Structure 1
Amino acid sequence: MNLANKITLARIFLVPVIMFFLLIKLDLGTLSFSDFEITYNQIVAALIFIIAASTDGLDGYIARKNKIVTNLGKLLDPLADKLLVAAVLISLVEMDKLNALIAIIIISREFAVTGLRQIALLEGSVMAASAWGKWKTAIQITMIIALLINNFPFALIDFPFDLIASWAAVIITVYSGIDYFMKNKHLIPVE
């Protein structure tokens, strides 16, 4: 197994670790100042999420640079991304930090585009990430981090950055999904 695929697998293995810190009732304490509070569990989960999310581009870069792109990597990389985002979104819903509708919309789009990518692979082609797909990923990661850290530092000035980022993520997620399907409608069998 090459380095790029190992990095992708590491991202998958970090998913349950993040969920452990978010959902298991392990009280590591709370950091509080002024009217702001955040548990150390959330801080640890956010840091692990940031590390995991940052490996997304790294594995692909290493694979392309070293010419070690594999079918396993093509399959695992988007799967790892979807597992990471879906698991954290579901955890945030469970923690009552994210509206379930937002999570459902984002996760549904991710599964739909993943299905389209699988159809493309069966047809012998690879759907490259679009610019909108990259923006979607960036705003989703920004939204998740803001929610994981209780909207810090914006919570100190009572600015709803996390809410704005959440709805921006929904809009860009839906738009990028439509963009993928419109550009690849030739892959969809019509019977």
Structure 2
Amino acid sequence: MSLRQLPNTITLLRIALTVPIVWALLVEQYGLVLWLLLLAGLSDALDGWLVRRYGWYTRLGGYLDPLADKILVVSTYFTVAWTGLLPWWLVALVVAREVIILSGALAFRAVTRSLEMQPLFISKVNTFMQIVLVLSVIVSAGVLSLPAWYLDGMLLLVLFTTVSSGLAYVVAWSRKAFNHGRATVEPPR
């Protein structure tokens, strides 16, 4: 393995961390869950830093990194809902957003034969808020009881950012497809 592949290896390890995180949630080992989630977050920061610092970008890594985040977030949300810490309707909304984004990307790829993954700013905000919410309910369940107003507020914030992000991606993919269609129809000037 070359050093250029190190970020991809770290990303694959982050995907593998999903299994012990889900297990620890199911057996209510919330302290362990928090440590494992911290490790996952640090690995995400490390692989991103390596790519930026040394230019070790690979096309595979461009797909793996957001996939790892989605696997971790969706798995954690499903498990937290299974244990009763979050409502199922929120999990359905989070998953629906992911399906919309993936469907848009696949449709764009099918039509244009190209695909560049670029997260939108609202998507980064949404991912951050989703992580803060899941960490908050885990902390509240097993470490330190947090006020209901805070948890309810976070839930509403995640609802807002999830819907906003999903809509933003629908607009972005539609605009890209429209512009691509115009570029292939109009003669160059």
Normalised TM-score (structure 1) = 0.80
Q: CA 1:62–1:145 in structure 2 vs 1: closer, same or farther (change >3 Å)?
A: same
**Is 1:185 aligned with 2:174?**
yes
Q: Residues 95-134 of structure 1: matches in 2 within 5 Å?
A: 95-120=83-108, 123-134=113-124
Shift of 1:102: 0.3
Identity of aligned residues (%): 25
**Is 1:161 aligned with 2:150?**
yes
Partner of 1:174: 163
What stretches of structure 2 of length at least 5 have no aligned partner?
182-189
CA distance in structure 1 between the partners assigned to 2:102 and 2:42 by the alignment: 20
Q: CA 1:59–1:111 in structure 2 vs 1: closer, same or farther (change >3 Å)?
A: farther
User: In the TM superposition, what whole-angstrom CA distance separates every residue of 1:125-179 from its partner, at most 9, and x where no partner exists?
Assistant: 3131111111111101100100111266562xx3432222122112101101111
Shift of 1:56: 2.8
What SS does structure 2 have at the residue aligned with 1:184?
Answer: helix
How many residues are matched? 173
What SS does structure 1 have at the residue aligned with 2:85?
Answer: coil
Structure number with the higher strand fraction is 1
Would you say the 8 A contact 1:120–1:127 is kept in 2? Answer: no
User: RMSD across aligned C-alpha pairs, in angstroms?
Assistant: 2.3
**Is 1:47 aligned with 2:55?**
no
What stretches of structure 1 of length at least 5 have no aligned partner?
25-38
CA distance in structure 2 between the partners assigned to 1:130 and 1:84 by the alignment: 19
Q: CA 1:101–1:9 in structure 2 vs 1: closer, same or farther (change >3 Å)?
A: same
Normalised TM-score (structure 2) = 0.81
